Amino acid sequence: MICGVAGVGKSTVAWEIGSQLQIADVPHAMIDTDELDRVYPQPESLSELVALSCRNLAALWESFAALGHSRLILSGVMLDLDADLAWISASIGNADYTIVRLHASDETLRQRVEAREIGSGREEQTKRTLAQAKALREQRTRRTVAVQTDGRSPVEIAKEILEVTGWASVW
């Protein structure tokens, strides 16, 4: 699981991990949790939204597992790890998880979000990202591996994560 705030590099790093696994001919699947509940209008309650994500992840993982896949790169913000692990575990069953929380400085996050967000939500997304980053810095993060992304390439970060997960040893 690769988690962190918007602009920290989750998607880019997940894609790079996928590329490195593909080069090594290691079967895997990749899912961005944002895509599990990207609907409008969204369900009225948080519990309904989580249930939608849970059903969608379960359906995708069932399809991937039927193909013989046993590795999943799951990326998402995941601010409340206990709650997120509950619905993820309910969706994919018993698994060994390595949770990697990506971090970056506020200045790096601001630059990345402002470069990425070109529409009307740019200012609000920047504020939300910086507030979430502050909250995560204050949070006690047990069960997570912290990886700093400032000034590092996606290749370098992906290699570190592959080492931490033990997946680098598969080739």
Tokens of 63: 């399809």
Q: Please, is 151 exposed, middle or buried when counting C-beta atoms within 10 Å of its C-beta (0-12, 13-18, 19+)?
A: exposed
Q: CA 93 to CA 87: how far, in whole Å?
A: 10
Distance, C-alpha 126 to centroid of its chain: 18
What confidence tens digit (pLDDT) does each residue in 112-160 have?
Answer: 998 888 888 888 999 999 999 988 887 766 678 999 999 999 999 999 9
Tokens, residue 74: 């799951």
Residues 6+ apart with CB under 8 A from 41: none
Question: Using one digit for the tens of pLDDT, what is the confidence trace for 25-69?
Answer: 999 999 999 999 999 999 999 999 999 999 999 999 999 999 999
- The half-sphere exposure of 3 on its side-chain side, counting CA atoms within 13 A, is 22
Distance CA 78, CA 84 (A): 6
Question: Which residue is listed with tokens 């912290």?
Answer: 146
Q: Report how far residue 55's alpha carbon sits from residue 109's, in angstroms, rounded to the nearest whole number.
A: 32
The reported pLDDT for the residue numbered 170 is 55
Q: Distance of alpha carbon 125 from its chain centroid, rounded?
A: 17
Task: Supply the pTM of this predicted model.
Answer: 0.88
**Hey, what domains does the chain have and what are their CATH numbers?**
2-165 (3.40.50.300)
